[in-house]
Structure 1
Amino acid sequence: MNAVAVVGLDCVFPAAHGIEAYWELLMRGGDAIGPLPAGRGGEGFDDTVRGGFVADADVFDNDFFTIAPREAAAMDPQQRLLLQCAWRALEDSGRSPRALAGSDTGVFVGVMGSEWAQLHMGDLARITPQLGAGSSTGMTANRISYHLDLKGPSLAVDTACSSSLVAVHLAVNALLSGECSTALAAGVNLVLTPALGMVYQQMGLKAPDGRCKPFSADADGIGRSDGAGVVVLRRLQDALADGQRVYAVIRGTAVNQDGRSNGVTAPSRWSQQAVVAAAHRRAGVGADQVRFLEAHGTGTALGDIIECAALGEVYAGPRDTPCALGSVKGNIGHTEGAAGIAGLIKTALALHHRIVPASPFAARENPRLRLAERGLALLKAPLRLPPGEVLAGVSSFGMGGTNAHAVLASAPRPPHAATRAAHAAGVFTLSADTPEALRRNLAAQAEALARRPRGDAAPVCWTSNQTKTGLPYRAAFTARDTAQLADALRTAADDEQTRARVSDRALRPAAVAFLYPGQGCQQPGMTAALYRESAAYRRHLDDADDALRPHTGASVRDLILTEDPAVNRARWATPALFAVAHALTQTLADLGVVPDAVLGHGTGEYAAAVAAGVLSLPDAARLTAAHAAAAEQLPGGALLAVRGGEEEIADVLAAHPGLLLAAVDGPHDTVVSGTADVLEHAAKQLAARGLHTRRLPGPHPCPAPAAPAAAAGPVTAGPARIAWASARLGRMLGEEIVDAAYWAQPAKAPVRFADALSALVAETAPTCLVELGPTGHLLRLAQRAGLPAGIRLLHPAPGPAATATDLAEAVAGLYLSGVEPRWEALYEPAHRRTERLAPYVFSRARRFPQTAPAHTPAHTPAHTPAQASGQIPAQAPGPAAGPAVPDAAGPSDAPAARPHPSHGPGETAAGRHDAALCAVIDAVVEVGAYPREQVDAAARIYEDLGFDSVMIMQLKDRIEQRLPQAAGITMQQLLPALRSVGTLAVLVRELTGTGVTV
């Protein structure tokens, strides 16, 4: 299959920020031409300048990409614009950008020079390393590859106005040759100087009103405009195999050159005709099959005539209907290096929506173009496309003679979906780089979902799991329909506790402990609803039932599903709990959730042993059934839970010889066993002293049995593969072999759950405790045991009515605690389809105007008001001087400051002043131009502040300027200390002898 799928889109064009806004502009025939935005003007611009301009092109979320303010200020705004577009386009493709880190993804960017470099690189006194990299045309692609950690081809292409369609051509070929498996093809253009407009004017190509009028009798030249667009491309078979949404299919592309024609800047009809024909040969389709063309269409008199003549030679054959002709330049102007991508995105959207927008200026068609006799027609109204495959073409021609054409087709129709059952539960995930960003994106997703027709939330949730993960602050919501989900997101956006769930600074690696309850926690019908809804749980409960049935003589599964009260009998209680616990364990394993530690209470140890790898399922099934059979033969008894400690009930135990201590579950939680009469008398005594008691359901043997070794058969012994806390022994089991003797000995001593839980928490420091049973009894005990703060308690199957929603809630809780679930196991195949979600909303707090960056001196005094505000004034240049951050937003929209101590920079507790820390912070602030409140001892040099090798050298210089005694520090000494500002300050303090003063 020699075809490439367009699977993701994003763009910023005049009056159209984003794909939805772009399509809306095209469909209403919008005109995006207007005056120069405020702050854009510079030398040579005046109030009469008109064109297609992107508002707020100076806004950039540098913190999101971990780019220091000084570096961001030195970057060509084209690089900044593309970084954000690339992120959103990858999300739109149904994949998290973070998930592509380290992959062979390629980046191909069409860019027509750098007006930023023209503005700034000519002043040799202002040159800095940051400005050098920031002005490089090649860095438009390399920035994307670097910041997203993409390892495939990365290159910028400049073929003038055909640059971005040539970039698409190169990306398609790289995919088809196997050079990369995903490719980003892009184009960008920002009008920062009047220079090229002056060239157009001198060549007689500039439209007086700044507006392109393609194919119109009024066409009088080019109007310049801004724009950026990114498409994500994959081989069609790969996209279909991964279930990605396909906007359109690129069937073939071609690139050629005019060669020696009528001037290096003049177009060639014959070369244009040849490139279109070549693209059709590669696509394997005839020109008569093409339904519409997105032409280059600049609106110059000569250019339109030559292009239509070339197209007429290819498309003038026998046709039932003329080929529709249009050019997006009539809406947004000529985006130059981004013109090809603007046309490609328009065409892909038209094929996706199966409607072609009307051609601007079609009302006054230029009769000299002879469109009708050439099989072409301008659209005076939108054209609805017929069913089946539809073909389209896109042309882009460069001023120097490099021509490109692409043949696109509508996406193949997905297989007919089977009738869907009731809405399934899903987990909607969202992540962001700060709590404020999380709030902003929660609100955006809520608004977007509220505009959709109410429907099944599962595909939306599935898409979010694939695209909206990987950033440090997380949120997760369980829902079955989109209206319910929109309400949850809207509420969370206004609720700080719901919003800021997890941070990469606070989150330690996830450690999950499974708790397995024993007899007394069973319930008739437990998990029956989950069995009906979850195919995975059905499969695993059936497996457990198959393992038990040869030893129990009947089906435990059927007993559970029919809500038979016989489940409370000693014969059935333990096997039923074992089957449920094992099925839940395996269901979570399918979801990628494997415990780091296990703890079983009483008979719950059988299921815990299987999870720990101590017992096989067949061995555990035999032991469980043997235990239950032995229990059935013993005299009946009962259990009484007491809200009191072991010491508090000691005298009652002594006073009743038939009363036994069955379990010590916590400092104030014990269980006693005995006959019904003994328990009733003991309960009255305990109640009289104010201790609450509760009878546990079902009969219980007195004393508690062990599984006779002979009845159970041989047991394969082995050490635990993960941490295992033994409630029987009240401690962690190390390398001990848990053999048949462990299970066969009578359980005379009480269950020491409290001691075992304490040992488990101390040794494994779990972030989550998950109970795999119906009642949540062990979680309540854990809550009363005084757990360390931050441990999340989860219950995937609470009670007989537990459904797939409860399981999804547990998975959501695990995700919030740092677990990365295997999301596909949560959804049926029909729900694993990509839906369009609102793109990531970046911060608009910082602006980096398109003006010459200022300098800082070689040494700046500490704590200046200008630095504190994040605005550093222009001063005489010093060594390694760099551009300053020109503008920052007000407090209401400022990025959230990172957590930092209440005392000021360089100060420690008790009012002490740390000169080394102060010097390091001052140097970091100067080199990166960070707001002072954003830099503290905890700030990480690379991860939080975005320092690179050049900035490290500048940082060393600044520290030496502030502390002359630091001049002997070598890079070998410095590099290991660059974990954080604080660790660097420790090194400086040690090597310079700089102390802490009061």
Structure 2
Amino acid sequence: MTPVAVVGMDCVFPGAPDADAFWELLMRGGDAIGALPAARRDGAGFDDAVHGGFLDDIAVFDNDFFSIAPREAAAMDPQQRLLLQCAWRALEDSGRAAATLAGSDTGVFVGVMGSEWAQLHMGDYARVTPQLGAGSSTGMIANRISYHLNLKGPSLAVDTACSSSLVAVHLAVNSLLSGECGTALAAGVNLVLTPALGLVYRQMGLAAPDGRCKPFSADADGIGRSDGAGVVVLRRLEDAIADGQRIYAVIRGTAVNQDGRSNGVTAPSRWSQREVVAAACRRAGIAPEEVRFVEAHGTGTVLGDIIECAALGEVHGVPREQPVGLGSVKGNIGHTEGASGIAGLIKTALALHHRIVPASRFAARENPQLRLAERGLRLLGAPVRLPAGEVVGGVSSFGMGGTNAHAVLATAPRTARTAVRPLSGAPARTQAPVGVFTVSGDTPEALRRNLAAQAELLARRPRGDAAALCWTSNRVKAGLPYRAAFTARDTASLAAALRGAAEDERLRAGIAERVRHAPVVAFLYTGQGAREPGMTAALYEQSPLYRRHLDAADEALRPYTGGSVRELVLAEDPAVHTARRSQPALFAVAHALTATLADLGVVPDAVLGHSIGEYPAAVAAGLLDLDAAARLVASRARHMDGLPAGGGMLSVRAGQDAVAGLLAVEPELALAAVNGPADTVLSGPRDALARASGVLRVRGIDSRELRVGHAFHSPLIAPALPGFRADAEEILGQTPASAPARIPFASTLRGRMLGEEAPDAAYWAEQAAAPVRFADALGALVAETGATCLVEIGPLPQLVQLAGRAGLPSGTRLLHPAPGRGAGAGELAQMLADLYRAGAEPAWDELYEPGHRRAERLAPYAFSTEHRFWQQPAARAAAGGADGAVAAGGAGAAGGALAERTGRREPAAPAAGGSGAVPAPAADAERDPVLAAVVEAVVQVGEYPRERVDAGARFYEDLGFDSVMIMQLKDRIETRLPQAAGITVQQLLPALRSVGTLAEFVQEWITVGAAL
């Protein structure tokens, strides 16, 4: 059989709220058995003596995260709620965010032994609702996961009694191997909600009086029932390796069979158990003697233990040097029934992952009737460390009705990782690589919880590079609407930053933002004045990505410049100040930065270039190809460098009107650039500029001379234009005709968006001498594209400073990937962090070298625990229910579904599909009677808190409405507004964008009806 990898897991078992706690419980030989929680006894028929393995509070559920209405959450079987959260966390543990699998063929296979929730509630016909019907269905357990995570592969619940979840694993494995799905979630869940099955066990003589399973012990006296849920994420081994996922263990083979006609439908069959184990070994392609340990079914019933050991002995009891280790997790947590197989599989996968098998609880008093030694078996009285190399273990699970399952697992293969080698000529790295650690949540409070959870886990790690942790966080912790991001090189400083943000609300408010939509990004390409020796040298040293692209730009320019731009820059040659050298160097840096950001998933929605910056902007927009642009830039630089010296430029902190009079008295001066309302540049002879500077100083206007060798954008450039234009005509004549820009291009020559016009030779010649109309071009770009992030592309932050003084719309971000000579990989990473917080989705992989793209353990998502949903059985409800009850059938209905909410409640921000719009002020509904009626109908249908629903709340994303709820909403609106009668569901659907849009539609319907 082709191997299948276990790449992720999550579980909730008695005494163990997650996989780490589960492993710790097993390693210390812990006992999770205790008394039944008091809340479950009420109305369910339990007596006070019930003991077993129980979860502390199964009423807790983060319904807002999954966009589930309170009414629906209260009606849902807690088994469904548990598995939804486990599935999300298991996918995170696999190194993949659930959102990345949306729409995929991912399958969901869940083992479950019926619904005791349905037994408690569906018999009271007066309280039955559609929500309770779906919430009580066993089949819906898998479907819930598929629906809320938008997974489109197979989705089925499996009930073969106690073997259900291992049979689910078997089906998931086969689905993967057949190509039916590319990823599979295999799961099991069990909750003890009624005493019914316990009574069955007692009447069959199978119930342990103390509620403890004592597998293979002389003290074994029956079964103790337990809660539990577990999910594993499975992938074909080759796919898991290709994607760099962490592999806990490999499933080498599985098998399922049936007892057939044995001594009774509930009696186990030694021969069938033997055959299922042997069949799994055959499918795995291993000999039975290769199996080092078996996680047995091991319920602690005398007959069951004897039959199982006899079957295992016949398969594994071949002549062997060491007996097979034997254990059963039921000794620690009890019999989790439908979840017992997944509990055993997770234990086995963890044992192989950690290369140590936990001790068998109750091994001290071995049952002599089992004849373990002569059968080649032994109980493990202490943990056993596994040897190097591949190690094989088995897992068994047997159903009461005779459906048996066995799986053979092995340690994960050692996969060679490609060594990270610096590119040729790159200096050795002297500091740890920088990464961006991302954390997100569905509400501000969720973000705080998860910042704290990550900080706590990281603080326990040894100090080291943070790059792999950052890469992992980008894959699994980046998709929710409230976002924080931190640049980091080491784990200690990262943990401190996370902790500080979690504890300081003001600090958190400064780094964490809510995403409503993706940003509109515009690139602003810097002009002539930005060049300096050594520009971007630090980034070249620290970023292999930028290094590659600057090398490529250098190669494109070299044939036309007669030398290496890269060497000029890295050598910090002052020749970079000459026009002949500076213009190609600026072009190379801008083009390399553009390509670097493109590889990182940051591409512009619009571009603008200042002077020489229009050339890389034109390449980015598709108006020029790289070769043509390189030839044009080299020609422009050569012709301008040949001009006589003596010209200069003066930057003035005043508007165009303020310098107009000065230009009138100094006719040799020209207006070279209008950069903003109070930013202009003059160009001309140096003596005229000196006189102008003196006049401006007297007027109290600041000015400074720019470091240039010529009077660019003035009539003094005119002698260079004929030669340059001739070259441009030849260059552009040898290239395909220019097409309109692929993305909006703001022309600083025209001071507007270029539209359908394609720059020709005349354009580029005029552009060299005419004024730069940066302010007009920027205003047009922002107005026509709605740009929300302006990213300067160049070696110094100049244009973002001008833009900051240009009166842009509030909230416009001004960013720079390389703001200064010493800027390196840290500044580039910081810009990505800023864009991510703004709503961008960078292509994070390219920020990291291949050796750092490996999955690391992060803290699982910390769900909210402030909402509790518990629908009391009918007997309790008839007695009056509980304070704060919310009726399952709507407000005022008989009975009660307790939906407690403690602490501050945030607006919904559903992680699995919605974005959590914040409701509008409640005063709107008070002023509008139709809106008020619609709001109250929505509140009643979903049983939301009144403050939760307002005009801005969206039906699907925020409130979790479905077709059933829409039907109920229509009925309630007509009850409250009889004049709205006659509206059909089909007519309602287009209006269901938000509560406010629905109210507008209803108002229009009523108005039109009244007019008729």
3-state SS in 1 of match to 2:170: helix
2:93 paired residue number: 92
Are residues 198 and 113 of structure 1, via their aligned partners in 2, closer, same or farther at CA, if it must alter by over 3 Å? same
- Offset at 1:22? 0.5
Percentage identity across aligned positions?
71
Moved more, 985-994 or 145-154: 985-994
- How far apart, in 1, do the equivalents of 2:295 and 2:568 lie? 67
Give matches, 1:75-86, under 5 Å. 75-86=76-87
- Offset at 1:875? 8.7
- Offset at 1:882? 9.5
Amino acid at match of 2:818: A
2:164 paired residue number: 163
- How far apart, in 2, do the equivalents of 1:883 and 1:980 lie? 31
- How far apart, in 1, do the equivalents of 2:555 and 2:665 lie? 46
Q: Tell me if 1:627 matches 2:640.
A: no
Determine if contact 2:921/2:950 at 8 Å carries over to the other structure: no
Q: Tell me if 1:480 matches 2:489.
A: yes
Give matches, 1:815-834, under 5 Å. 815-834=836-855
Give matches, 1:437-476, under 5 Å. 437-476=446-485
Cα deviation 1:940-970 (Å, max 9, x = unaligned): 0111101111100000000111111111111
Determine if contact 2:939/2:945 at 8 Å carries over to the other structure: yes
Are residues 17 and 141 of structure 1, via their aligned partners in 2, closer, same or farther at CA, if it must alter by over 3 Å? same
- Offset at 1:559? 0.2
1:886 paired residue number: 898
3-state SS in 1 of match to 2:325: strand
2:38 paired residue number: 38
Are residues 920 and 855 of structure 1, via their aligned partners in 2, closer, same or farther at CA, if it must alter by over 3 Å? farther
Q: Tell me if 1:671 matches 2:672.
A: no
- Offset at 1:689? 1.7
Within the candidate set 578, 582, 586, 2:587 is matched to 578
2:750 paired residue number: 729
Are residues 928 and 882 of structure 1, via their aligned partners in 2, closer, same or farther at CA, if it must alter by over 3 Å? farther
3-state SS in 1 of match to 2:226: coil
Amino acid at match of 1:11: C
Cα deviation 1:437-471 (Å, max 9, x = unaligned): 11111111111111111111111111111111222
Determine if contact 2:583/2:637 at 8 Å carries over to the other structure: yes
Amino acid at match of 2:731: P
1:762 paired residue number: 783
- How far apart, in 2, do the equivalents of 1:317 and 1:485 lie? 53
Moved more, 473-482 or 114-123: 473-482
- How far apart, in 2, do the equivalents of 1:736 and 1:885 lie? 66
Determine if contact 1:855/1:874 at 8 Å carries over to the other structure: no
Give matches, 1:858-869, under 5 Å. none
3-state SS in 2 of match to 1:648: helix
Q: Tell me if 1:693 matches 2:714.
A: no
- Offset at 1:321? 1.1
1:601 paired residue number: 610
Gapped regions of structure 1 (runs ≥ 5): 857-865, 908-912
Determine if contact 2:162/2:337 at 8 Å carries over to the other structure: yes
Determine if contact 1:426/1:478 at 8 Å carries over to the other structure: yes
Moved more, 33-42 or 740-749: 740-749
Amino acid at match of 2:902: G
Give matches, 1:917-956, under 5 Å. 917-956=931-970
- Offset at 1:363? 1.0
2:27 paired residue number: 27
2:658 paired residue number: 648
2:179 paired residue number: 178
Are residues 992 and 782 of structure 1, via their aligned partners in 2, closer, same or farther at CA, if it must alter by over 3 Å? same
1:848 paired residue number: 869
- How far apart, in 2, do the equivalents of 1:78 and 1:57 lie? 9
- How far apart, in 2, do the equivalents of 1:937 and 1:896 lie? 14
Amino acid at match of 2:197: L
- How far apart, in 1, do the equivalents of 2:921 and 2:469 lie? 42
Amino acid at match of 2:969: L
Are residues 41 and 673 of structure 1, via their aligned partners in 2, closer, same or farther at CA, if it must alter by over 3 Å? same
- Offset at 1:505? 8.1
Amino acid at match of 1:213: K
3-state SS in 2 of match to 1:547: helix
3-state SS in 1 of match to 2:795: coil
3-state SS in 1 of match to 2:1002: helix
Moved more, 125-134 or 645-654: 645-654
2:524 paired residue number: 515
Are residues 883 and 290 of structure 1, via their aligned partners in 2, closer, same or farther at CA, if it must alter by over 3 Å? farther
Determine if contact 1:521/1:697 at 8 Å carries over to the other structure: no
- How far apart, in 2, do the equivalents of 1:747 and 1:527 lie? 25
Give matches, 1:489-508, under 5 Å. 489-496=498-505, 499=508, 507-508=516-517
3-state SS in 2 of match to 1:214: coil
Give matches, 1:252-291, under 5 Å. 252-291=253-292
3-state SS in 1 of match to 2:166: helix
- Offset at 1:754? 0.4
1:862 paired residue number: none
- Offset at 1:855? 13
Cα deviation 1:201-222 (Å, max 9, x = unaligned): 1111111111111111111111
Gapped regions of structure 2 (runs ≥ 5): 422-428, 910-916
Cα deviation 1:536-563 (Å, max 9, x = unaligned): 2122111211121122111111000111
2:542 paired residue number: 533
- Offset at 1:644? 1.0
Determine if contact 1:870/1:885 at 8 Å carries over to the other structure: no
Determine if contact 1:663/1:752 at 8 Å carries over to the other structure: yes
Amino acid at match of 1:945: L
3-state SS in 1 of match to 2:997: helix
- Offset at 1:507? 2.5
Moved more, 488-497 or 608-617: 488-497
Q: Tell me if 1:639 matches 2:640.
A: no
Determine if contact 2:254/2:408 at 8 Å carries over to the other structure: yes
- Offset at 1:874? 7.8
Q: Tell me if 1:711 matches 2:727.
A: yes
Amino acid at match of 1:160: A
1:657 paired residue number: 667
Determine if contact 1:845/1:889 at 8 Å carries over to the other structure: yes
Give matches, 1:545-564, under 5 Å. 545-564=554-573
| TM-score under structure 2 length normalisation | 0.94
Q: How many correspondences in the alignment?
A: 980
Are residues 14 and 855 of structure 1, via their aligned partners in 2, closer, same or farther at CA, if it must alter by over 3 Å? closer
Cα deviation 1:820-860 (Å, max 9, x = unaligned): 2222221111111111111111111111125238999xxxx
Moved more, 896-905 or 60-69: 896-905
Amino acid at match of 2:166: L
Give matches, 1:866-881, under 5 Å. 871-872=885-886
Give matches, 1:390-405, under 5 Å. 390-405=391-406
Are residues 850 and 746 of structure 1, via their aligned partners in 2, closer, same or farther at CA, if it must alter by over 3 Å? closer
Amino acid at match of 2:672: A
3-state SS in 2 of match to 1:39: helix
Are residues 757 and 819 of structure 1, via their aligned partners in 2, closer, same or farther at CA, if it must alter by over 3 Å? same
Are residues 392 and 761 of structure 1, via their aligned partners in 2, closer, same or farther at CA, if it must alter by over 3 Å? same
1:861 paired residue number: none
2:426 paired residue number: none
- Offset at 1:616? 1.1
- How far apart, in 2, do the equivalents of 1:528 and 1:625 lie? 22
- Offset at 1:649? 2.0
2:918 paired residue number: 899
Moved more, 745-754 or 797-806: 745-754
3-state SS in 2 of match to 1:160: coil
| TM-score under structure 1 length normalisation | 0.95
- How far apart, in 1, do the equivalents of 2:500 and 2:952 lie? 32
Amino acid at match of 2:250: V
- Offset at 1:778? 0.1
- Offset at 1:47? 2.2
Give matches, 1:242-261, under 5 Å. 242-261=243-262
Are residues 950 and 219 of structure 1, via their aligned partners in 2, closer, same or farther at CA, if it must alter by over 3 Å? same
- How far apart, in 1, do the equivalents of 2:655 and 2:874 lie? 71
Are residues 498 and 599 of structure 1, via their aligned partners in 2, closer, same or farther at CA, if it must alter by over 3 Å? farther
- How far apart, in 1, do the equivalents of 2:614 and 2:874 lie? 68
- How far apart, in 2, do the equivalents of 1:854 and 1:676 lie? 96
3-state SS in 2 of match to 1:690: coil
1:127 paired residue number: 128
Cα deviation 1:480-521 (Å, max 9, x = unaligned): 112222122222223446646899986334211100011111
